[in-house]
Amino acid sequence: MRRRTVTMSDVAREAGVSVMTVSNVLNDRSNVGADTRLHVLEVVDRLGYEINLTARRLRSGRTGTVGLIVPRFDLHYYGELAALISDALAADRMHLVVEQSGASRERELSALSLARLQQYDGVLLGAVGLDTADLDRIHPDLPIVLLGEQDVPDRYHRVQMRNAAGARLATEHLISCGASRIAALGGKLTAPRPEMATYRANGWAGALADAGLDPRPDLVIPLHDYSIAEARATITDVLAAGLKIDGIFAVTDEVAIGALAGLNDAGLRVPDDVQLVGFDNLDISQHLTPGLTTIDPDRPAMVAEALRLLRRQLADKNAAPEHIVSTVSLVTRGSTRNSPCSACTDE
């Protein structure tokens, strides 16, 4: 027997309020008392009422929802990014839905399909699998802001991190603190197309070359998934194989956390034997022992810019595309000797 669809009128009747009050609660309008709001939401949950986002979009042109599509849920960086975006949207009484693409071209394309996009007012896409040709073929009729390193067609709005400059700043700091045999853990000197690891390895290499040090290929230690466990195991292996280093630039803070554990496993002290710098300034980085010196890409500013670009497009679908590049700064903690550096920011 087919279950009858619960309507807004059913909710109103059960809750003892008007249909307009139910609508005000479901649309998160402020003209409803807290007790009434909680009561209506309890009835909505008990009856199993489901909001028809498609109908809402047809009536108002908006769903009140923004989609965030990221490669992975299991990296702290994306969790902190999603939290910042969710908090910023809540101030506008909007909601965030997060999807995981697995850095897959097919799943990123699926996330941008017409049927999926009708659920959202706009999308923030961390594009990893898609290339320029893929993005050039897509013409979604809603605001999209691209996040990440990939080259993209000029018609897209984009917020990009200053990867190479941040890596250079990290490496310059290690050099200023006396390190000379500096590994780039998680870096890649070449790749089929631009990615985080290549940009950051290029910044590392440039800083070494400018200081008269050789950016030796054997000091670039690639990783596959940039996890803590992989970084720990990799550092353990290269040290056991005889690689001599006195500094590590880790391409992310999670990689740096794994490196810290691997160095400890090898009986090496940070910063006395090996100095360490990460990238991302994750909240957890200040709670390590020692605290992690890292590059801060100013995520709050990046989120503010990305949402500004979404709002611009909501107000004007023909808004001229903008390409925003973040600033980066060095945050010094106990994992380096913290000698004064000549430049601790890069804009």
Domain containing 37 — which CATH number?
Answer: 1.10.260.40
Domain containing 78 — which CATH number?
Answer: 3.40.50.2300
- The total of structural domains in the chain comes to 3
Is residue 84, in this structure, part of any structural domain at all? yes
Residue 176 predicted with pLDDT over 90: yes
218 and 290 within one domain: yes
Mean pLDDT to the nearest integer, 319-336: 95
In this prediction, residue 134 carries a pLDDT of 81
Is residue 46, in this structure, part of any structural domain at all? yes
Please indicate whether residue 121 or residue 230 has the higher confidence score (pLDDT). 230
Tell me the three state secondary structure of residue 311: helix
Residue 206 predicted with pLDDT over 90: yes
Is residue 58, in this structure, part of any structural domain at all? no
Is residue 70, in this structure, part of any structural domain at all? yes
The tokens describing 224, both together, are 């596959």
CA 298 to chain centre: 11
Contact assessment for residue 326 and residue 160, using Cβ atoms and an 8 Å cutoff: yes
In this prediction, residue 299 carries a pLDDT of 95
339 and 321 within one domain: no
In this prediction, residue 35 carries a pLDDT of 83
Residue 215 predicted with pLDDT over 90: yes
264 and 204 within one domain: yes
208 and 178 within one domain: yes
260 and 172 within one domain: yes
Residue 14 predicted with pLDDT over 80: yes
Lowest mean pLDDT among 7-11, 17-21, 28-32, 72-76: 28-32
pLDDT band at residue 342 using 50, 70 and 90 as cut-offs:
very low
Residue 148 predicted with pLDDT over 60: yes
Q: Which domain holds residue 287?
A: 163-296+330-346
Is residue 2, in this structure, part of any structural domain at all? no
In this prediction, residue 48 carries a pLDDT of 78
Is residue 238, in this structure, part of any structural domain at all? yes
Q: Which of 104-113, 146-155, 207-216, 311-320: highest mean pLDDT?
A: 207-216
In this prediction, residue 269 carries a pLDDT of 97
Cβ–Cβ contacts within 10 Å for residue 317, how many?
Answer: 10
179 and 281 within one domain: yes
Residues 6+ positions from 337 with CB-CB distance below 8 Å? 177, 178, 271, 275
- CA separation for the pair 272, 294 (Å, rounded): 17
C-beta contacts of 205-208 below 8 A and 24+ residues apart: 206/164, 206/168, 207/167, 207/168, 207/169, 207/171, 207/172, 207/175, 208/171, 208/175, 208/182
247 and 116 within one domain: no
Lowest mean pLDDT among 12-26, 258-272, 292-306: 12-26
Is residue 124, in this structure, part of any structural domain at all? yes
Residue 56 predicted with pLDDT over 80: no
270 and 208 within one domain: yes
Is residue 56, in this structure, part of any structural domain at all? no
211 and 337 within one domain: yes
Residue 343 predicted with pLDDT over 50: no
In this prediction, residue 341 carries a pLDDT of 46
Cβ–Cβ contacts within 10 Å for residue 55, how many?
Answer: 10
In this prediction, residue 38 carries a pLDDT of 77
149 and 76 within one domain: yes
251 and 108 within one domain: no
247 and 167 within one domain: yes
pLDDT band at residue 344 using 50, 70 and 90 as cut-offs:
low
C-beta contacts of 10-16 below 8 A and 24+ residues apart: 10/47, 10/49, 11/40, 11/43, 11/44, 11/47, 11/49, 14/43, 14/46, 14/47, 15/39, 15/40, 15/43
